[in-house]
Amino acid sequence: MATPAQQIDPSKLNTFLGQAIGEMGAAMNAALIVLGDKLGLYKAMNGAGPMTSEEVAKKTNLNERYVREWLSAQAAGGFLTYDPAAKTFTLQPEQAFALAMEDSPVFLPGFFNIVSAVMKDVPKIEEGFRTGKGVGWHEHDHELFHGTEKFFRPGYRAHLVNEWIPALDGVEAKLKAGAKAADVGCGLGTSTILMAQAYPKSTFVGSDYHDRSIELAREAAAKAGVGDRAKFEVSAAKNYSGTGYDFVAFFDCLHDMGDPVGAAKHVRESLDRDGTWMLVEPFANDKLEDNLNPIGRIFYSASTTLCTPASLSQEVGLALGAQAGEARLKKVLNDAGFTRVRRAAETPFNIILEARP
């Protein structure tokens, strides 16, 4: 039933409408960020100083009228700076660091590829809401797989070898000396390859149930020159091959699994007696009210469209969600027989847990 008009506070309404208008612009700009990345527009402007639309179009070999409208939208959103006197647009160094430099630890365009895939898959998610059925990772638009790798890669490059592994008890020394390691739910293999490059005396087995991701991971490992020590297999987290592992890693994937306890039990069975499991999960506090912030919003949104549907598509369907929090994660690990669990490290986006039997 509609709220009577006289009960509406005009000030609050205007504030909310202003917020909604900001959302409308951000939603449309997601497509423009994808285009700016794919067409090389940000890269063309990186370090070039003020540029006219004609100069940008010439440098990228694109149609000037399209480019001019894109530049105008980027300036309206604060992604570029516009000089009305000179009619030039500038990509500032801070903006370039996040939008044009793929080796930056905060390179963002991959996230908007994820958004693009989610929008294409809205009918599938809608059906899930109506029926309770899940949507498997493999059922999503292919842009999701590439976008996820592209988005997570900068963070893994920045933190995995430099911070997360050194924070674990004795693991770095084992990997440097030569250890047997598994990377479960490896996707396109970025995390596996990074570890293989950093620890050439160790061997790594990356696994994922999505066969196309594993094909791409094998190609990437060969291209990176680590195909001899980074092998990949198509398998679910509950039945990846091998035992006696010194180190097992899960990157941002346990909460997507239908039976995370079952997966955790398989990890415990596959580990060497003195082995270590590193679990990397999205940062979350244990209470909903403590996650009602911009980062929590991103993760809850991703969880609604990707993570929860993925879990519900599998056996058990526990649906931990991307904001499970440390207490729920520890319970999963404890139920699987891991008696020593501690938070080894964290970033604004991740919790890193160290688990031992």
| DSSP code string of 258-317 | S-HHHHHHHHHHHEEEEEEEEEEEE---SSGGGG-SHHHHHHHHHIIIIIHHHHHTSSS-
Phi, psi of 321 (to 5 degrees): 85, 160
| Angle subtended at Cα 119 by Cα 292 and Cα 35, rounded to the nearest 5 degrees | 105
- The CATH number of whichever domain residue 225 belongs to comes to 3.40.50.150
Pairwise CA distance, residues 185 & 250, whole Å: 6
DSSP-derived letter for residue 241 is -
Mean pLDDT for the stretch of residues 323-340: 97
At residue 39, does pLDDT exceed 90? yes
Cα 160 to Cα 280: distance, rounded to the nearest angstrom = 10
pLDDT at 322: 97
Does any domain span residue 30? yes
Q: Do 54 and 174 have their domain in common?
A: no
Q: Are residues 17 and 117 in the same domain?
A: no
The encoded tokens of residue 221 equal 């490992």
Q: Does 198 lie in the same domain as 281?
A: yes
Residue 55 near residue 93, CB atoms below 8 Å:
no
Say how far apart CA 37 and CA 191 lie, in whole Å.
23
pLDDT of residue 12: 95
Among candidate residues 49, 74, 99, the one where a domain is terminated: 99
Q: What is the mean pLDDT of residues 148-161?
A: 96
Helix (H) or strand (E) holding 2: none
Is 44 within 8 Å of 60 (Cβ atoms)?
yes
The residues, any chain, with a CB within 8 Å of residue 98's CB and separated by 6 or more, are 104, 106, 107, 108
| Residues 182, 207 contacting (CB under 8 angstroms) | yes
Q: Are residues 240 and 219 in the same domain?
A: yes
Number of CB atoms found within 10 A of residue 61's CB = 9
Which tokens belong to 294? 């911009």
Q: Does residue 88 belong to any structural domain of this protein?
A: yes
User: Does 236 lie in the same domain as 159?
Assistant: yes
Please name the helix (run of DSSP H) or strand (run of DSSP E) that holds residue 355, with its range, or none: strand 350-356
198 and 61, same structural domain?
A: no
Residue type, 290: D
Q: Tell me what pLDDT residue 3 has.
A: 56
For a pLDDT cut of 70, what percent of the chain falls above it? 98
Q: Is the pLDDT of residue 6 over 80?
A: no
Q: What is the number of structural domains in the chain?
A: 2
Is pLDDT above 90 for 300? yes
CATH number at residue 46: 1.10.10.10
Q: Which residues pair with 74 in a beta bridge?
A: none
Domain boundary among 99, 126, 144: 99
- Phi, psi for 236 (deg, rounded to 5): -80, 165
Nearest-Å Rg of the Cα atoms of the chain is 23
The answer to whether residue 1 sits within a structural domain is no
Structure tokens at 165: 């592994």
Judgement on whether residues 175 and 63 belong to the same structural domain of the protein: no
53 occurs within a structural domain: yes
Give yes or no for residue 239 having a pLDDT over 80: yes
Q: What is the span of the domain harbouring residue 342?
A: 109-356
Residues 184, 250: contact at Cβ < 8 Å? yes
Residue 29 has pLDDT above 60, yes or no: yes
Tell how many helices (H) and how many strands (E) occur in the chain: 15, 9
Average pLDDT on 199-209 reads: 98
Q: What are phi and psi of 276, to 5 degrees?
A: -130, 140
- Structural domain ending residue among the three candidates 35, 67, 99: 99
Query: Looking at residue 5, what is its pLDDT?
Result: 59
At 197 the pLDDT is: 98
Q: Is the pLDDT of residue 1 over 90?
A: no
Question: Is residue 208 located within the same domain as residue 155?
Answer: yes
4 is a domain residue: no
pLDDT in tens, 43-96: 999 999 999 999 999 999 999 999 999 999 999 999 999 999 999 999 999 999
List pLDDT tens digits, range 97-135: 999 999 999 999 999 999 999 999 999 999 999 999 999
* 176 vs 202: CA distance, rounded Å: 7
Are 73 and 115 contained in the same domain?
no
Q: How high is the pLDDT of residue 2?
A: 52
3-state helix, strand, coil in the chain (%, to 5): 55, 15, 30
Determine the Cα–Cα distance for residues 344 and 341; give it in Å rounded to an integer.
Answer: 9
Enter the pTM of the model: 0.93
Residue 224 corresponds to which tokens in the numbers above? 């990176």
Question: Residues 6 or more apart from 14 whose CB is under 8 A from it?
Answer: none
